Amino acid sequence: MGRPVSDRPRHPLIPRREVDPRQELPALELEVLERWRERDVFAESLRLREGARQWVFYEGPPTANGPPGSHHVLSRVFKDIYPRFQTMRGFRVERKGGWDCHGLPVEIAVEKELGIKSKAEIEEYGIGEFNERCRASVFTYLEEWNRLTERIGFWLDLDDAYRTLDESYIESVWWALAQISERGLLYEGHKVVPYCPRCETTLSSHEVALGYRDVVDPSVFLKLPLLGGEEKLLVWTTTPWTLPGNVAVAVAPRAIYARVFVGNEMFVLAEDRVIPVLGEASEIVERFTGGELHDRYGSYRGPIFNTGDAGGLPILLDDFVTTDDGTGIVHLAPAFGEDDYRVAAAAGIFKGDEPRTLFNPVKPDGTYDQRVHSHAGRSYGGRFVKDPALTRELIEDLDARGLLLRVEEYEHSYPHCWRCGTPLLYYAKPSWYIATTKLREELLAANETVNWHPPHVKQGRFGDWLKNNVDWALSRERYWGTPLPVWRCGRGKAGDRDARDADVRCATVDGGQRHLYRLSRNHQPIVRDGLERHAVRGEDRVLEIAFLEVEAVVDLVPRVFVQPHRRELRTKRPQCGKARLDRLGGRGVVACVERRAREDGRVDDRVKPAFERGGRIRAGVLRDAGERDVHAVEQ
């Protein structure tokens, strides 16, 4: 049996004192915090470990435009444990704080202040003015965050915190994307992606996982007449709003299908689904495979809704179709489903490399366009596709035309926008991606090296997520965020090849509202050779500014002007050139070329655009220009 607590030996460095059983813990905590302040304990822990091995910690930054909550206390407890543990092991842990200043949470908060409900209203208000409101709002609750940080004893360097709105942070993101691009992992694709029609932007897979809700939606069983026969295909869908986008149906090529007589109608569906869908009274007349169904019938009458000329729509074959539920026959709306998109593109219904050939009757704001009509000719244009009232009208229209077998309530988990709560749409659109699927095996191997607590997460939720990960969609079609550093040529292609040949990347702006540029505070204008130049004092770099003043507003600036420069310009007194170029599209861009000397005597140049208020900036890197001149580049 162990000794009583009171008999334990004294520690030589800790004086013995009585513990007050009635001690008020909040008062004791405040006493400890005061002692830490007086002795500057956090800073002292760094000074004592000067020169020691670094253990790097950057806080995953909170957003200071909202007040902290109890859940932030919980997460920061975990954030605090590991730096303290590594500090006790002798590492120097600086614990860099940070603030997330960009993104939709900031925009939505400002929208609420202004009474704005859509992107169109933001543009009407003025993108530049809207962004300024966002900038002003991001630190609304900074003092409350600072008080919480100290009160819970979370040691963190907030005096020199990083901020995602700072140019230095944005350039670090650009650097990371440049590295990803060099590895061939950055690409632009046209895919069906999770999309919020209220925010009008794409969501990544991990964002989608934050917003699932259990809902009850109507599912419908449709009777689609086949061309040249009395039979009707039975098709089941849980998303009636996608039916105006129908262009085909798909069946499983090796599954067994049946012609079934019920009442005075002949239906075609998977044999395994006959009794669940039609009941015991149904009579199977004939059986055949999905491949034979395709060869025999070929097409059915369409479109389901009045979206164009009547005619035949194809029956396609694909193994993604199962007979586990529904009818074993799937309606395809390629604008709203990943498998639908793939199968329809492979069948040549539209051209995958020409997105404009894809039929999509839903606008980016989630409403039908003017092409969608009821059988009676009433337009559904401008109606939100997930509106329950509209869903009822669609079902009533199907029933009136004899296309409805029955309606059933279907309870399922459906994704909603984690920011605003709007039901998401799966929606075909262009986006930029990081090809994380190419790294799946590396990610799984790295997961094996992690000691997870609790252990089941390793092969469970997180392991499953890694095994089934999809390419990371980066694009966010919003205004207050980090611009993507993408160069695009005048032929509409984006990438590195042409730019690499010319040793230059172009900095361009599309769709700017106002022109705003910044120079260093200590610059002084100099007039020489008819051009206004700016000397920017620096230690080891050259900034050369090409200021474009242009007239028309088009998609992209077709040329970026960069003054020719040579190595001898690399001085402590860099020069900036200003030139007026005519017949250029866009409203203007400031392209800064930063030149740095390397130890091997070569020169690295970097294009650094200033910010265009209300515009999206694309930029890139000038690679190893050396002594060669850099000329104007045609896009």
Q: Give this prediction's pTM.
A: 0.65
How many helices, marked H, and strands, marked E, lie in the chain? 17, 26
In terms of domains, do 157 and 284 share one?
Answer: no
Domain-located, residue 595: yes
CA–CA distance, 477 with 117 (Å, rounded to integer): 16
Q: Which of 510, 506, 517 is nearest to 477 (CA)?
A: 510
In terms of domains, do 579 and 506 share one?
Answer: yes
CATH number reported for the structural domain that contains residue 285 in this entry: 3.90.740.10
Domain-located, residue 144: yes
Domain-located, residue 328: yes
Q: Which of 483, 507, 610, 627 is nearest to 558 (CA)?
A: 507
Residue 451 DSSP class: -
Look at residues 415, 449, 471 and tell me which one is the last residue of a structural domain. Answer: 415
Domain-located, residue 227: yes
Burial of 321 (0-12, 13-18, 19+ CB in 10 A): buried
CA–CA distance, 433 with 187 (Å, rounded to integer): 5
Burial of 236 (0-12, 13-18, 19+ CB in 10 A): buried
Residue range(s) defining the domain that contains residue 551: 497-634
In terms of domains, do 380 and 243 share one?
Answer: yes
- pLDDT of the residue at 228: 79
Domain-located, residue 625: yes
Q: By three-state DSSP, how is residue 534 classified?
A: strand
Domain-located, residue 224: yes
Residues of the chain with pLDDT under 50: 492, 495-598, 603-635
Q: Return all residues near 583 (Cβ < 8 A) that are at least 6 apart.
A: 551
- pLDDT of the residue at 517: 26
CA–CA distance, 162 with 99 (Å, rounded to integer): 6
In terms of domains, do 154 and 290 share one?
Answer: no
Rounded-to-10 torsion of CA 384, 389, 395, 399: -140
Q: Which of 147, 54, 64, 134 is nearest to 98 (CA)?
A: 64
Per the CB < 8 A criterion, the answer to whether 577 and 563 are in contact is yes
In terms of domains, do 527 and 409 share one?
Answer: no
Condensed to tens digits (0 to 9), the pLDDT of residues 214-271 reads 999 999 999 999 987 899 999 999 999 999 999 999 999 999 999 999 988 999 999 9
Residue 81 DSSP class: H
CA–CA distance, 104 with 420 (Å, rounded to integer): 9
Q: Domains in the chain: how many in total?
A: 3
Look at residues 415, 435, 457 and tell me which one is the last residue of a structural domain. Answer: 415
In terms of domains, do 263 and 158 share one?
Answer: no
CATH number reported for the structural domain that contains residue 83 in this entry: 3.40.50
Domain-located, residue 339: yes
- pLDDT of the residue at 487: 66
- pLDDT of the residue at 59: 92
CA–CA distance, 44 with 543 (Å, rounded to integer): 39
Domain-located, residue 329: yes
- pLDDT of the residue at 515: 24
